[in-house]
Amino acid sequence: LLNPGEFQVLICEVSSFMLEHVESFTPGNIVFTNLAENHLDRYRTMEEYVNAKRKIFFNTNQNTTSILNADDNAVVELARDPAVQRGRIFYFSRKQALEPQIMNIGGAVAIKDKIHVRTGPEIEYYTLNGIKLRGTHSVENVMAALLVAREHGAKHDAIQRVIDTFTGMPHRLEYVRKVGGVEFFNDSKATNVQAVKRALEAFDENIILIMGGKDTNLTYTPIAEAIRRKVKNLILIGEAKERINRDIGDDSETFLIGTFEEAVLIAFQKSRIGDTVLLSPGCSSFDMFENYVERGNYFKEMVNKFR
Protein backbone atom coordinates (compact mmCIF):
# COMPACT_ATOMS: atom_id res chain seq x y z
CA LEU A 1 0.00 0.00 0.00
CA LEU A 2 2.92 2.32 0.68
CA ASN A 3 6.32 2.88 -0.88
CA PRO A 4 8.75 1.97 1.94
CA GLY A 5 11.37 4.20 0.37
CA GLU A 6 9.34 7.27 1.33
CA PHE A 7 9.82 6.68 5.06
CA GLN A 8 12.69 6.35 7.50
CA VAL A 9 10.45 4.72 10.12
CA LEU A 10 7.07 3.08 9.52
CA ILE A 11 4.86 2.30 12.55
CA CYS A 12 2.20 -0.39 12.07
CA GLU A 13 -0.54 -1.63 14.37
CA VAL A 14 -0.70 -5.36 13.63
CA SER A 15 -3.75 -7.45 14.54
CA SER A 16 -3.85 -11.15 15.37
CA PHE A 17 -5.76 -11.64 12.10
CA MET A 18 -2.82 -10.21 10.13
CA LEU A 19 -0.27 -12.16 12.14
CA GLU A 20 -1.89 -15.47 11.21
CA HIS A 21 -0.28 -15.03 7.77
CA VAL A 22 3.17 -13.82 8.85
CA GLU A 23 6.07 -15.23 6.85
CA SER A 24 8.70 -12.57 6.22
CA PHE A 25 7.49 -9.67 8.42
CA THR A 26 10.54 -8.54 10.42
CA PRO A 27 9.95 -5.43 12.56
CA GLY A 28 12.94 -3.68 14.09
CA ASN A 29 10.98 -2.78 17.21
CA ILE A 30 8.06 -4.68 18.72
CA VAL A 31 5.83 -3.01 21.32
CA PHE A 32 3.50 -5.08 23.49
CA THR A 33 1.41 -2.95 25.86
CA ASN A 34 -1.00 -5.64 27.08
CA LEU A 35 -2.49 -9.02 26.22
CA ALA A 36 -6.12 -9.63 27.17
CA GLU A 37 -9.01 -11.86 26.10
CA ASN A 38 -10.34 -10.91 22.66
CA HIS A 39 -11.76 -12.32 19.39
CA LEU A 40 -13.00 -15.55 20.96
CA ASP A 41 -15.55 -15.78 18.16
CA ARG A 42 -12.58 -16.45 15.84
CA TYR A 43 -10.28 -18.38 18.18
CA ARG A 44 -11.53 -21.43 20.07
CA THR A 45 -9.44 -20.70 23.15
CA MET A 46 -7.42 -17.89 24.68
CA GLU A 47 -4.31 -19.98 24.00
CA GLU A 48 -5.06 -19.92 20.25
CA TYR A 49 -5.42 -16.15 20.38
CA VAL A 50 -2.12 -15.76 22.27
CA ASN A 51 -0.34 -18.00 19.76
CA ALA A 52 -1.57 -15.80 16.92
CA LYS A 53 -0.26 -12.68 18.70
CA ARG A 54 3.02 -14.46 19.47
CA LYS A 55 3.78 -14.67 15.74
CA ILE A 56 4.85 -11.02 15.77
CA PHE A 57 8.14 -12.40 17.15
CA PHE A 58 8.45 -15.00 14.35
CA ASN A 59 11.42 -13.36 12.59
CA THR A 60 13.23 -11.61 15.43
CA ASN A 61 17.03 -11.43 15.42
CA GLN A 62 19.80 -9.80 17.44
CA ASN A 63 18.87 -6.40 15.97
CA THR A 64 15.26 -6.57 17.21
CA THR A 65 14.27 -4.55 20.28
CA SER A 66 11.09 -5.67 22.04
CA ILE A 67 9.43 -3.10 24.32
CA LEU A 68 7.24 -4.92 26.82
CA ASN A 69 4.90 -4.03 29.70
CA ALA A 70 6.41 -5.52 32.85
CA ASP A 71 3.12 -4.93 34.72
CA ASP A 72 1.12 -7.26 32.46
CA ASN A 73 1.62 -10.89 33.49
CA ALA A 74 0.61 -12.26 30.08
CA VAL A 75 3.16 -10.03 28.34
CA VAL A 76 5.88 -11.04 30.80
CA GLU A 77 5.07 -14.68 30.07
CA LEU A 78 5.47 -13.98 26.34
CA ALA A 79 8.95 -12.63 27.03
CA ARG A 80 10.06 -16.16 27.97
CA ASP A 81 9.66 -17.20 24.33
CA PRO A 82 13.08 -17.99 22.78
CA ALA A 83 12.13 -15.84 19.77
CA VAL A 84 11.82 -12.79 22.04
CA GLN A 85 15.10 -13.62 23.73
CA ARG A 86 16.95 -13.50 20.38
CA GLY A 87 16.91 -9.70 20.52
CA ARG A 88 17.13 -6.96 23.13
CA ILE A 89 14.27 -6.34 25.57
CA PHE A 90 13.27 -3.04 27.18
CA TYR A 91 10.61 -3.23 29.88
CA PHE A 92 8.38 -0.43 31.12
CA SER A 93 6.50 -0.33 34.41
CA ARG A 94 4.57 1.82 36.89
CA LYS A 95 5.97 -0.17 39.83
CA GLN A 96 8.69 1.60 41.78
CA ALA A 97 10.00 -1.73 43.08
CA LEU A 98 11.07 -2.68 39.54
CA GLU A 99 13.11 0.50 39.00
CA PRO A 100 16.54 -0.92 39.97
CA GLN A 101 16.12 -4.01 37.80
CA ILE A 102 14.77 -2.15 34.77
CA MET A 103 17.41 0.59 35.00
CA ASN A 104 20.02 -2.17 35.00
CA ILE A 105 18.80 -3.88 31.80
CA GLY A 106 17.16 -0.93 30.05
CA GLY A 107 13.64 0.47 29.88
CA ALA A 108 11.39 2.97 31.65
CA VAL A 109 9.71 3.26 35.05
CA ALA A 110 7.11 5.85 36.04
CA ILE A 111 7.48 6.97 39.67
CA LYS A 112 5.01 9.63 40.81
CA ASP A 113 5.36 12.53 38.35
CA LYS A 114 8.57 11.37 36.66
CA ILE A 115 9.64 8.73 34.17
CA HIS A 116 13.09 7.21 34.67
CA VAL A 117 14.51 5.97 31.35
CA ARG A 118 17.61 4.09 30.34
CA THR A 119 18.28 3.15 26.72
CA GLY A 120 22.04 3.79 26.81
CA PRO A 121 24.73 4.28 29.42
CA GLU A 122 22.96 7.12 31.29
CA ILE A 123 19.59 7.36 33.05
CA GLU A 124 17.34 10.16 31.78
CA TYR A 125 14.34 11.75 33.46
CA TYR A 126 11.08 13.05 31.98
CA THR A 127 8.31 14.84 33.84
CA LEU A 128 4.61 13.97 33.73
CA ASN A 129 3.46 17.26 35.27
CA GLY A 130 2.08 18.53 31.97
CA ILE A 131 0.51 15.32 30.64
CA LYS A 132 -2.91 15.90 29.05
CA LEU A 133 -3.96 12.24 28.77
CA ARG A 134 -6.36 10.47 31.14
CA GLY A 135 -5.73 7.17 32.88
CA THR A 136 -2.76 5.20 34.16
CA HIS A 137 -2.70 3.24 30.91
CA SER A 138 -1.80 6.50 29.16
CA VAL A 139 1.38 6.70 31.25
CA GLU A 140 2.22 3.16 30.10
CA ASN A 141 1.63 4.20 26.49
CA VAL A 142 3.86 7.25 26.96
CA MET A 143 6.68 5.04 28.24
CA ALA A 144 6.34 2.63 25.32
CA ALA A 145 6.32 5.45 22.76
CA LEU A 146 9.20 7.20 24.50
CA LEU A 147 11.36 4.07 24.30
CA VAL A 148 10.65 3.70 20.59
CA ALA A 149 11.44 7.38 20.04
CA ARG A 150 14.77 7.10 21.86
CA GLU A 151 15.61 3.97 19.82
CA HIS A 152 15.30 6.11 16.70
CA GLY A 153 17.30 9.07 17.95
CA ALA A 154 14.62 11.47 19.19
CA LYS A 155 16.05 14.10 21.54
CA HIS A 156 15.06 14.55 25.18
CA ASP A 157 13.53 18.02 24.73
CA ALA A 158 11.46 16.93 21.72
CA ILE A 159 10.06 13.95 23.63
CA GLN A 160 9.27 16.09 26.68
CA ARG A 161 7.47 18.60 24.46
CA VAL A 162 5.24 15.84 23.06
CA ILE A 163 4.48 14.52 26.57
CA ASP A 164 3.40 18.03 27.57
CA THR A 165 1.28 18.84 24.51
CA PHE A 166 -0.16 15.62 23.04
CA THR A 167 -3.92 15.47 23.66
CA GLY A 168 -4.61 11.96 22.42
CA MET A 169 -6.08 10.16 19.42
CA PRO A 170 -9.68 10.10 18.17
CA HIS A 171 -11.92 7.38 19.64
CA ARG A 172 -9.54 6.68 22.54
CA LEU A 173 -11.01 8.35 25.63
CA GLU A 174 -11.62 11.33 23.37
CA TYR A 175 -13.28 14.31 25.04
CA VAL A 176 -16.27 15.38 22.94
CA ARG A 177 -17.89 18.27 24.83
CA LYS A 178 -19.72 19.36 27.97
CA VAL A 179 -23.50 19.82 27.78
CA GLY A 180 -25.40 21.16 30.79
CA GLY A 181 -22.63 20.20 33.18
CA VAL A 182 -22.31 16.67 31.71
CA GLU A 183 -19.07 15.58 30.01
CA PHE A 184 -19.15 13.21 27.03
CA PHE A 185 -16.25 10.91 26.09
CA ASN A 186 -15.84 8.78 22.98
CA ASP A 187 -13.87 5.58 23.62
CA SER A 188 -15.16 3.66 20.60
CA LYS A 189 -11.74 1.98 20.14
CA ALA A 190 -12.36 0.06 23.41
CA THR A 191 -13.30 -3.25 21.79
CA ASN A 192 -12.49 -5.62 24.65
CA VAL A 193 -13.09 -5.90 28.38
CA GLN A 194 -9.61 -4.80 29.43
CA ALA A 195 -10.02 -1.56 27.48
CA VAL A 196 -13.29 -0.78 29.29
CA LYS A 197 -11.61 -1.50 32.62
CA ARG A 198 -8.84 0.97 31.82
CA ALA A 199 -11.38 3.57 30.72
CA LEU A 200 -13.32 3.26 33.98
CA GLU A 201 -10.10 3.67 35.95
CA ALA A 202 -9.66 7.09 34.32
CA PHE A 203 -12.84 8.54 35.87
CA ASP A 204 -14.44 9.00 39.26
CA GLU A 205 -18.00 7.94 40.06
CA ASN A 206 -21.27 8.95 38.34
CA ILE A 207 -20.54 7.38 34.97
CA ILE A 208 -23.27 6.58 32.48
CA LEU A 209 -21.67 3.82 30.43
CA ILE A 210 -22.75 2.74 26.95
CA MET A 211 -21.54 -0.78 26.11
CA GLY A 212 -22.26 -3.42 23.51
CA GLY A 213 -21.73 -4.38 19.90
CA LYS A 214 -20.77 -7.55 18.09
CA ASP A 215 -20.77 -10.60 20.35
CA THR A 216 -17.26 -12.10 20.37
CA ASN A 217 -17.78 -14.51 23.30
CA LEU A 218 -15.95 -12.38 25.87
CA THR A 219 -16.41 -12.59 29.64
CA TYR A 220 -17.38 -9.29 31.28
CA THR A 221 -17.19 -10.25 34.96
CA PRO A 222 -13.64 -8.79 35.34
CA ILE A 223 -15.17 -5.29 35.30
CA ALA A 224 -18.05 -6.08 37.70
CA GLU A 225 -16.40 -4.43 40.70
CA ALA A 226 -15.59 -1.25 38.75
CA ILE A 227 -19.18 -1.15 37.46
CA ARG A 228 -20.51 -1.37 41.02
CA ARG A 229 -18.26 1.43 42.25
CA LYS A 230 -18.42 3.89 39.39
CA VAL A 231 -21.33 3.32 37.00
CA LYS A 232 -24.75 4.75 37.88
CA ASN A 233 -26.41 3.63 34.64
CA LEU A 234 -25.30 0.86 32.28
CA ILE A 235 -26.83 1.10 28.81
CA LEU A 236 -26.43 -2.00 26.64
CA ILE A 237 -26.83 -2.35 22.88
CA GLY A 238 -26.07 -4.73 20.03
CA GLU A 239 -25.59 -8.48 19.69
CA ALA A 240 -23.65 -8.73 22.95
CA LYS A 241 -26.13 -6.93 25.20
CA GLU A 242 -27.68 -10.12 26.62
CA ARG A 243 -24.26 -11.63 27.39
CA ILE A 244 -23.06 -8.42 29.05
CA ASN A 245 -26.31 -8.17 31.01
CA ARG A 246 -25.87 -11.72 32.33
CA ASP A 247 -22.34 -10.97 33.49
CA ILE A 248 -22.67 -7.46 34.98
CA GLY A 249 -26.27 -6.27 34.56
CA ASP A 250 -26.98 -6.62 38.29
CA ASP A 251 -24.05 -4.38 39.21
CA SER A 252 -25.74 -1.15 38.09
CA GLU A 253 -29.10 0.18 36.96
CA THR A 254 -29.10 -1.41 33.52
CA PHE A 255 -31.08 -0.75 30.35
CA LEU A 256 -31.12 -3.00 27.27
CA ILE A 257 -31.74 -0.78 24.25
CA GLY A 258 -32.61 -1.58 20.65
CA THR A 259 -30.63 1.01 18.72
CA PHE A 260 -27.47 3.05 19.09
CA GLU A 261 -29.44 6.28 18.71
CA GLU A 262 -31.79 5.38 21.54
CA ALA A 263 -28.85 4.44 23.76
CA VAL A 264 -27.16 7.82 23.34
CA LEU A 265 -30.43 9.69 23.89
CA ILE A 266 -31.24 7.73 27.05
CA ALA A 267 -27.73 8.34 28.36
CA PHE A 268 -28.29 12.08 27.87
CA GLN A 269 -31.73 11.95 29.49
CA LYS A 270 -30.41 10.06 32.53
CA SER A 271 -27.45 12.39 33.05
CA ARG A 272 -27.24 15.09 35.70
CA ILE A 273 -24.76 17.89 36.39
CA GLY A 274 -21.37 16.38 37.23
CA ASP A 275 -22.01 13.09 35.42
CA THR A 276 -19.84 11.56 32.70
CA VAL A 277 -21.36 9.84 29.67
CA LEU A 278 -18.84 7.33 28.36
CA LEU A 279 -19.07 5.30 25.16
CA SER A 280 -16.70 2.41 25.86
CA PRO A 281 -18.34 -0.55 24.11
CA GLY A 282 -16.13 -3.49 25.08
CA CYS A 283 -17.11 -5.02 21.73
CA SER A 284 -16.26 -4.64 18.07
CA SER A 285 -18.64 -2.56 16.00
CA PHE A 286 -19.47 -4.85 13.11
CA ASP A 287 -23.07 -5.62 14.09
CA MET A 288 -24.07 -1.97 13.59
CA PHE A 289 -21.18 -0.10 11.96
CA GLU A 290 -18.43 -0.58 9.41
CA ASN A 291 -15.77 -0.06 12.09
CA TYR A 292 -15.05 1.63 15.41
CA VAL A 293 -14.30 4.92 13.62
CA GLU A 294 -17.78 5.12 12.12
CA ARG A 295 -19.29 4.25 15.52
CA GLY A 296 -17.27 6.91 17.31
CA ASN A 297 -17.97 9.57 14.71
CA TYR A 298 -21.70 8.89 14.90
CA PHE A 299 -21.59 9.21 18.69
CA LYS A 300 -19.81 12.57 18.38
CA GLU A 301 -22.27 13.72 15.74
CA MET A 302 -25.20 12.98 18.05
CA VAL A 303 -23.58 14.59 21.09
CA ASN A 304 -22.75 17.74 19.15
CA LYS A 305 -26.47 18.18 18.42
CA PHE A 306 -27.46 18.19 22.09
CA ARG A 307 -28.53 21.51 23.58
CATH code at position 65: 3.40.1190.10
CATH number for the domain that contains residue 251: 3.90.190.20
155 and 277, same domain (yes or no): no
Q: What is the mean pLDDT of the chain?
A: 97
Q: What pLDDT score does 1 carry?
A: 53
- For 63, the domain range is 4-165
| Of 1-15, 147-161, 168-182, 264-278, the least confident | 1-15
Among 104, 123, 106, CA closest to 114: 123
Domain boundary among 165, 192, 222: 165
- The answer to whether 30 and 57 have CB atoms below 8 angstroms apart is yes
127 and 13, same domain (yes or no): yes
Question: Is residue 5 very low, low, confident or very high in pLDDT (cuts 50, 70, 90)?
Answer: confident
Domain boundary among 100, 133, 165: 165
Question: Is residue 3 very low, low, confident or very high in pLDDT (cuts 50, 70, 90)?
Answer: confident
113 and 245, same domain (yes or no): no
178 and 290, same domain (yes or no): yes
| Domains of the chain: total | 2
**What is the pTM assigned to this prediction?**
0.95
255 and 119, same domain (yes or no): no
As a whole number of angstroms, the distance between CA 214 and CA 303 comes to: 23
| Of 35-39, 68-72, 210-214, the least confident | 35-39
184 and 65, same domain (yes or no): no
CA distances from 203 to 71, 213, 274, 278 (A): 21, 22, 12, 10
Q: What pLDDT score does 2 carry?
A: 67
**What single-letter amino acid sits at 81?**
D
Average pLDDT over residues 216-239: 98
262 and 154, same domain (yes or no): no
Percent of the chain whose predicted confidence (pLDDT) is above 90: 96
